[in-house]
Every structure is written in C-alpha cells, then in structure tokens.
Structure 1
Amino acid sequence: MRTDIFARLDREPEPPKIEIPRMSRHRIALFGGTLVFYLAIVVAVLVSSWLVALDWKVMLFRPYQQWPELHAFLDYYVVLGQRGPTAVMVAAWLGWRSWRQHTLRPLLTLGTALLLLNVSVGAVKLGLGRLGPHYATQIGSAELFAGGDIFPSGHTANAVVTWGILAYLATTPRARRYLSALSAFVSLGVGLTTVYIGTHWLSDVLLGWAAGLLIMLALPWFEPLITRAEVWILSVRESWRARRRLRGPAEGVAGPPVPALAPRTTDGAPETGAGHVEETGAPAAPQVVDGPGDAGPTPGGPATDPPAGGPPGAAGRSRAHSAHPVRSERTPLGPAVSRRPPHADRAPRSSPAPARPVAGGPVAP
C-alpha cells in the first residue's frame, strides 16, 4: 500500500478549500514598518551610533559569566534556531500536512521561505562582513567589513521563519494564534540565547528578528508562484506516469516463438542423436562395426574425436560416419533387401548355415 503524498492525491484528486493569506492593507502596513526598522538598525550600526555602544556594554557584561547555571540548558535550546535540524523537523510535519490536505503547498511554501531567507540574510552578512563579539579587535568599533558573517543573526532569522511558517499555514484562527505565540517565544528565546552565549551582538539579533519578519510578511506575494509550481510538478508527474503506462504494455508483449534450428553436418544434413526417434516412430539403426576398435558413432549422431593415442585414420572414419545421411533422407528399399553393406568375408543371410559339430564327435566333412 502506497503512503506517499502522490498516492493520497490519487485517491482524492480534489483538494479541500484552503484559505490562502492575501496581502491586505494591514499586512502591507506591517511590512512597511518592519522594513523601516530594518534599515534604521543597519544605518545605526554603519555610523557607530549608540546601538554599537550598547552592543559593547552587553558584551563586556558577559551574561554567560553572570548566570553560569543556565549555560548547559541554553546550549541545547539554541539548536532550535539552527537551520538543519529545524528544517528537517518542520519539513516532516508539513509533509504529513500535505498528505492530509492533498496538496503540495505546505512543502513548497517552506521551500520558498527558506530560499528567501538564504538569499536576503546571506547577502547582507557577506556584504557587511561584521565580526562577532569573540573576534572583536577594537572596543567601541562596529567591526564592519572585516570578513565576518554574523550581521544579521542567522539563528534568529531562521527561528522566526521556520517556526513562523507553521502559524502562516494554519487552517483555523485558533491554531494560528497558538502557533504565532509559539513561534514568537522560540524566536525571542533563540535570539537572546545567542547574546547570552556571546556569539552575537544585540544589534545582530534585532536585525535577525526584522529580517525573518519581513520574509513572513512578504510570503503572500509569492503565493501565485507557489500555485504555478505545484501545477507544474503535478503535470510533470502525470506525463511521466502516462509514458510509463504506454511503455509497460509494449515491453510486456512477447513475440512469436522462434523454432530452435538443429545443428547441421558438413554436407548440410541436420544432426540427430543416437536415440533420436524419427517420423516412423522407430529408433535410428545402429552403425555396423567392421572390426575390433573400429566402432563409429551411430548414424546421425554427433561426431566425436577419437581418444588420444588411437589408431591412425580414426578421425577420418569418425567424420565419415558423422556425415552419414539421416534415415528419413535415405533411399527407401524393399522389405526383402538388407540394409547392411556387403562384406567379402561374410556369407549372405540367404545361404544355409554350415552344420554345427556334435560335442565329442568327429567333424562332418
């Protein structure tokens, strides 16, 4: 029994009606305000404003030394922001959702969000090249364009997108509220954990929250593209299955049986075995033995080479016997005519046999 997503689509091809979020005025206003906040943080770091000074104060405070008892737990908690483990967990859940809802939209939405995250966050990271707190070189400096890759925080942005996609794809208002609260709690906790451990500046976390929120707010603009991608994937699958159905019967049809051709001898006559039963129903006649050690193969039987060290001329006699025509090709003879070849030293069967001597008596002249 197939349990994959496509099998579910085969059983019930008509998907249920799922409400797809639209880019409403409220969402557009949130997107605009988040974009302004994003740009303000970038400018504040570029000009080394009060935000950079706050970064240094938090870093020199060293929270991991102030509350060391939390370090062991937060080392595991921060994994909720790593892209690999969280993407696998959420993809498994959304795969089950796709199977239940008969649509590929949940998985395609997750893939689109992660692609946007990698492109947008990765470009800013490499463009600004900021160093982390553990690699800072000058107190009070923004540590920009130094070959780093920690601004904005990838853990924080990934937590916002990966867990926020569950709230985005919720089908009921109640589930959307609960999942929104869960994603907000996880993303806030992951961001503050990176500051506690000392792997990110506070401004990195602020920009990571803004970057992830921008992606979540912009997803409705990509819904038409996701729909076209789903239609294309299903059409490719159907065409592939149609080709398999057409190719399957063509490969399964067996052609007419080809008769096996009997091997032929040197004169073109087909070979037959020693015990071959011909059309008459009688076995082939045995070959006449001319003398000791001169027994050849039966008529029509396969030619065999003489053993090593045999008398000279045995190979030629074997080939001559193997070339003997089969019984069906011989000239029919009368019933009174013997098929044995004449022999000079033997008397014909028609002549009377000589009288046998009586035991102990004289031989008759």
Structure 2
Amino acid sequence: MAFAGTGPLDHRLLAALYTADRPAMRGAVIGITNLGSWPVLVTLTLIGLGWLLYRRQVRLALLLLATTLIGRMLADLLKLGIGRHRPQDEVHLVTVRDLSFPSGHAANTMIVFLSLALLVAPPRFRHLAVPVALFGTGAVGITRPMLGVHWPSDVVGGWAFGAAWVLLMLGLAERLGQADTAGFNSQGREQ
C-alpha cells in the first residue's frame, strides 16, 4: 500500500488524530513537531559531534556524521522514488513542501535520536538513553498526522527506515572494528 497509496486504516487513523478542530492542542503539537525540524536535528548532531571530538572519539564522530547525513539523503531519495502525495482532504496545519512517504520527521528523528543514544551517551546510561530516544521520535512522529501533513503509514515507514539505517550503520562499523570504542565488545555487550 505504501507505493500505490493509502488504505482505509490510514484514512481512519488520520481522521482520528487530526487536530484542526482542537486549537488548544495545536500549539503543543506544533512545538513537538518542531523538535524534528532540520535545524534542531543538525544542532543536536553538532553537539554530539563536539562531545565525541572533545573525548577524542574521532571514529565515533565520523560514524555519527555519516549515519545522520547519509540517512537524511536516503530518506529524501526514498520520497522521490516512491512519490506518494500528502493527505489533501485536511488543511495542512504547518507548511510542507515535498512528498509524503516516508515521513522525514519520523525518519530523521529516529536516525539522530537513536544515533545519539547509542554513540554519544556513555555506556552506563544507554539503557536510559535508548527509551528516551524512542519516546522522542515517537512523539515527533505522531504529530505529523495530527497536523494533517502525513498519513500514519508514512510515519511508521519513517520510523522503520530510520531504525534500520542506524542499526545497519552500527553493524557495519562493528564489522570494520570501529564499534569497540563505542563501549560494546565484539558480541554487542556493554563493556
């Protein structure tokens, strides 16, 4: 369904989540969705890069940079390749300019938040950082249909792509012997 359009479940979920008739909620939803904007994600990535470089973890800094930048480009290429249009029955409550699937906010917050949790957070805090990252990306993603700019399946697709991309990049780094410095041994267990 992602390639050809949306199904009845997407339409029902979008109608249930849409906040145009709840103006008191709309401001909070827009504030949360802005956490997934490119300026915020770039700022968080730069802070993570700075911290890793300060700690002289250059390989991890390069891995963070590659994961976030290449992931962003791939999500944009997926949008172009799939070509799904955004919902048109509802008024878009924020400005959007590109195609719909996958949700860039969902994909990019998953990539940045999960990468920060796994690469930047100290190993002893990762058991807390990962759930916080998933909660954050979940909150940002759910705002997209609430604002009428994405189908729910766009958001799920963005989350899935973002998580798969981060795990693929970490797996490749581990194979190349770079993940040991991330606080994991070769079996993926925390040191």
Letter in 2 for 1:132: R
CA distance in 1, matches of 2:171, 2:48: 24
Letter in 2 for 1:69: A
Tell me the TM-score normalised to structure 1 length.
0.43
CA distance in 2, matches of 1:93, 1:116: 16
Secondary structure, in 3 states, of the residue corresponding to 2:88?
Answer: helix
State the structure with bigger RCO (CA 8 A, min sep 6), 1 or 2. Answer: 2
Shift of 1:194: 0.7
Aligned pairs for 1:192-211 (under 5 A) are 192-211=142-161
CA distance in 1, matches of 2:43, 2:60: 14
| Shift in CA distance, 80/176, structure 1 to aligned 2, threshold 3 Å | same
Shift of 1:45: 2.6
Secondary structure, in 3 states, of the residue corresponding to 2:101?
Answer: coil
Shift of 1:129: 1.3
Tell me the TM-score normalised to structure 2 length.
0.78
* Contact 1:64–1:71 (Cα < 8 Å) also in 2: yes
Secondary structure, in 3 states, of the residue corresponding to 2:57?
Answer: coil
CA distance in 2, matches of 1:71, 1:115: 30
Secondary structure, in 3 states, of the residue corresponding to 1:55?
Answer: helix
Paired residue for 1:171? 122
Output one character per residue of 1:77-116: Cα deviation in whole Å (capped at 9) or x when no partner.
Answer: 11111122222123123312321x2221232122111233
| Shift in CA distance, 87/148, structure 1 to aligned 2, threshold 3 Å | closer
Shift of 1:47: 5.1
Paired residue for 1:215? 165
CA distance in 1, matches of 2:62, 2:176: 10
Paired residue for 2:7? 52
**Paired positions, count:** 170
Letter in 1 for 2:122: T
CA distance in 2, matches of 1:162, 1:95: 14
Shift of 1:117: 1.1
65, 74, 79: which one aligns with 1:120: 74
| Shift in CA distance, 96/127, structure 1 to aligned 2, threshold 3 Å | same
* Contact 2:117–2:126 (Cα < 8 Å) also in 1: yes
| Shift in CA distance, 91/188, structure 1 to aligned 2, threshold 3 Å | same
Paired residue for 1:97? 52
61, 65, 73: which one aligns with 1:107: 61
Letter in 2 for 1:105: R
Aligned pairs for 1:18-167 (under 5 A) are 44-46=1-3, 52-61=7-16, 63-99=18-54, 101-134=55-88, 149-167=99-117
- Unaligned 5+ segments in structure 1 are 1-43, 137-146, 228-365
Q: Identity, % of aligned pairs? A: 28
CA distance in 2, matches of 1:116, 1:226: 20
Output one character per residue of 1:29-48: Cα deviation in whole Å (capped at 9) or x when no partner.
Answer: xxxxxxxxxxxxxxx33355
Secondary structure, in 3 states, of the residue corresponding to 2:84?
Answer: coil
- Unaligned 5+ segments in structure 2 are 91-96, 179-191
| Shift in CA distance, 209/154, structure 1 to aligned 2, threshold 3 Å | same
* Contact 1:130–1:148 (Cα < 8 Å) also in 2: no
| Shift in CA distance, 226/115, structure 1 to aligned 2, threshold 3 Å | farther
* Contact 1:91–1:107 (Cα < 8 Å) also in 2: no
* Contact 2:3–2:84 (Cα < 8 Å) also in 1: no
